[in-house]
Amino acid sequence: MSINHIRPWRHIERRKSRQIHVGNVPVGGDAPIAVQTMTNTPTTDVAATVAQVLAAAEAGADIVRVSVPDEASSRALKEIVRESPVPIVADIHFHYKRGIEAAEAGAACLRINPGNIGDEKRVAEVIRAAKDHNCSIRIGVNAGSLEKHLLDKYGEPCPEAMVESGLDHIRILQDHDFHEFKISVKASDVFMSAAAYQQLAEATDAPIHLGITEAGGFVSGTIKSAIGLGQLLWMGIGDTLRVSLSADPVEEVKVGFEILKSLGLRHRGVNIISCPSCARQGFDVIKTVEALEKRLEHVKTPMSLSIIGCVVNGPGEALMTDVGFTGGGAGSGMVYLAGKASHKMSNAQMVDHIVEEVEKKAAQLDAEAAAAE
């Protein structure tokens, strides 16, 4: 029996989309919502770009996008693809030839922008290259670079213009008997993005790539993305996502996972539940949580840990977590295992001890999962 059956208010009914593949990663249908990021090194600096791809993959990225602005980048892409543990999407703007070169270089997917890729003849050549090299395509509509005839028709960028641009390009792909595509309609404005995605979700069964473009720095971009993507995901819309931040790609991956974890759509690593702390705390909650976040980064098994300053909320939260610690008096607190009070532990040794307990629990959960396969 799933937890959603017990707690129906947690249930999210995902929109039914067609499934495609980006390399070996399924996108759409009942596949998990894939988390993406994008490198920000010069693509021609192969070593630096591969290092970013590896770091993003280690943080959990399922797919990584790399910009291909010139011919030298197309050549570098070939080496990057070879070194990457995850499928690489080539980001193409303006030059349709880069799309062809990227397909030849082994990109798993080509992101093309309908607003600047050129006429249908050029798109047809990119489609042929994608077919020949087993690439999928993302139609990446962006409010900031819509086609001129749509801006003339609608007067300014708006959800209707973005969706029309996307649907026009879907038709071009379908006319060429190409169906391995997904689509995004991004804007930096949360309202415009959300409206465009809702209209798009009604108009097509193609898998949808979610994103708020140019969302901003770490804090503001995270909040904008959590609101915009969060409400769409809550409505069941979205098969893959990228959180755009003016920050390290690893941060984008972490924020993407946190959004999905908050909605119970994906689980990875330790979900720490902690109180904000106040004068009642029996130990330094903030410092402890900071230390535990760092020390538990390597744990990929989905599980929960509650770190609560005192008995006001500690035992209650511990009931619903795999491992818990609640502050008490005289420099020690209570350790909870599987929701039950287990033993006392001194505040001084608590971080090391909790790390041990979490690792033990993760090993047990992994063994159970392996036995169930």
CB of 339 vs ligand SF4, minimal distance in Å: 17
Question: Which one among 159, 211, 221, 309 touches ligand SF4, defined by CB under 6 A?
Answer: 309
Q: Judged by CB under 6 A, does residue 306 bind ligand SF4?
A: no
| Binder among 275, 350, 358, 362 for ligand SF4 (CB under 6 A) | 275
d(CA 39, CA 48): 9
Give yes or no for a contact between 65 and 253, defined as CB atoms under 8 angstroms apart.
no
List strand residue ranges (DSSP E) for the chain, in order: 20-22, 25-27, 34-38, 63-67, 88-92, 109-112, 136-142, 181-186, 209-210, 240-242, 270-274, 303-308, 323-327, 332-337, 340-346
Residue nearest to ligand SF4 (CB): 309
- Beta-bridge partners for 25: 22
Nearer to ligand SF4, 201 or 310 (CB): 310
Toward ligand SF4, which CB reaches closer, 40 or 332?
A: 332
Give the binding-site size for ligand SF4 (rule: CB under 6 A).
11
- CA-based nearest residue to 232, from 282, 187, 267, 178: 187
177-185, 259-267, 270-278, 338-346 -> range binding ligand SF4 (CB under 6 A): 270-278
In the set 308, 318, 345, 350, which binds ligand SF4 (CB under 6 A)?
308
- Give min distance, CB of 272 to ligand SF4, in A: 14
Residues facing 67 on adjacent strands: 91
Contact pattern for ligand SF4 over residues 279 through 298, marking x by CB under 6 A: -xx-----------------
Contact code string over 311-350 relative to ligand SF4, x by CB under 6 A: -xx-------------------------------------
Of the candidates 190, 185, 151, 192, the residue with the CA atom closest to the CA atom of residue 169:
185
Question: Which residue is listed with tokens 């689980």?
Answer: 267
Minimum distance of ligand SF4 from residue 324's CB (angstroms): 12
Q: Of 42 and 315, which has the nearer Cβ to ligand SF4?
A: 315
Sign of the alpha-carbon torsion through 101, 107, 112, 116: negative
Q: Applying CB under 6 A, which part among 150-158, 212-220, 308-316, 364-372 lies near ligand SF4?
A: 308-316
State the Cα–Cα distance between residues 52 and 276, nearest whole angstrom. 33
277 is a contact residue toward ligand SF4 (CB under 6 A): yes
Report which secondary-structure segment, H or E, holds 73.
Answer: helix 71-83
For residue 70, give every residue at least 6 positions away whose Cβ sits within 8 Å of its Cβ, in sequence order, or none: 95, 98
| CB of 52 or CB of 281, closer to ligand SF4 | 281
Residue of the chain from 2, 30, 152, 276 that contacts ligand SF4 (CB under 6 A): 276
d(CA 46, CA 68): 12
Q: Does 272 bind ligand SF4 (CB under 6 A)?
A: no
Window contacting ligand SF4 (CB under 6 A); options: 75-83, 135-143, 250-258, 303-311: 303-311
Task: Supply the DSSP string of 114-160, one letter for each residue.
Answer: TTTS--HHHHHHHHHHHHHTT-EEEEEEEGGG--HHHHHHHSS--HH
- Residues for the chain: how many in total? 373
Q: Which residues bind ligand SF4 (CB under 6 A)?
A: 275-278, 280-281, 308-310, 312-313
